């Protein structure tokens, strides 16, 4: 998948300011302006607490999803499928699949099941902001499960 931000140097120069605006400024201003929250509470709850929780859940993927769960695609590697991490990290708990098929943009063989990350990428493609999505074929997935999976899927 090609990201428009990463492949366009003119857009890349706006990346840092966009991150600051969308991660801290907008989440602070929306509760303050729309429902009258104090700026102090808006900043610490909608920006800092949200950011802290999202970072910890993201880091949780590389600890919990390498320790707990099943390995339906490759039992010889440590990453595992973990449904709780999938919920917390909005679709990234399909870790055994992700490491077995790293080129698959969806990080899961389940297209329309709970995977907001895939939904977001599909939406960006619909808008024309991403292209060239790659997927593992059903035959490739089934062959890999039969050859190296733990039999849990």
Place of tokens 């907001």: 116
Q: How far apart are CA 143 and CA 77, in angstroms?
A: 17
CA 106 to chain centre: 9
Is pLDDT above 80 for 132?
Answer: yes
Which pair of tokens denotes residue 56? Answer: 């910890």
Task: Please write the tens of the pLDDT for every residue from 133-153.
Answer: 999 999 999 999 999 999 887
- Give the pLDDT confidence of 40-81 residue by residue, as tens digits: 999 999 999 999 988 888 788 788 888 999 999 999 999 998
Give the residues across from 70 on adjacent strands.
Answer: 81
Helix (H, G, I), strand (E, B) or coil at 70: strand
C-alpha 130/C-alpha 143 separation (Å) is 29
Check: CB of residue 102 under 8 Å from CB of residue 74: no
Look-up of token digits 């801290």:
24
Phi, psi (deg, nearest 5) at residue 150 = -90, 5
pLDDT at 6: 59
What's phi and psi for 43, nearest 5 deg? -65, -50
CB 123 within 8 A of CB 105: no
- Report the percentage of the chain scoring pLDDT > 90: 50
């Amino acid at each position: 998948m090609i990201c428009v931000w990463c492949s366009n140097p003119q857009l890349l120069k706006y990346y840092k300011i966009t991150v600051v605006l969308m991660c801290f400024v907008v989440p602070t201003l929306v509760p303050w302006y729309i429902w009258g929250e104090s700026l102090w509470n808006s900043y610490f709850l909608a920006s800092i607490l949200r950011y802290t929780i999202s970072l910890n859940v993201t880091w949780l993927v590389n600890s919990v999803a390498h320790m707990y769960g099943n390995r339906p695609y490759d039992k010889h590697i440590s990453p595992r499928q973990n449904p709780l991490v999938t919920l917390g990290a909005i679709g990234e708990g399909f870790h055994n699949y992700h490491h077995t098929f790293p080129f698959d943009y969806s990080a899961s063989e389940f297209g329309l099941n709970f995977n907001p990350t895939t939904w977001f990428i599909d939406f960006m493609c619909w808008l024309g902001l991403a292209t060239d999505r790659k997927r593992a074929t059903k035959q490739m997935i089934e062959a890999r499960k039969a050859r190296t999976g733990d039999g849990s899927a």
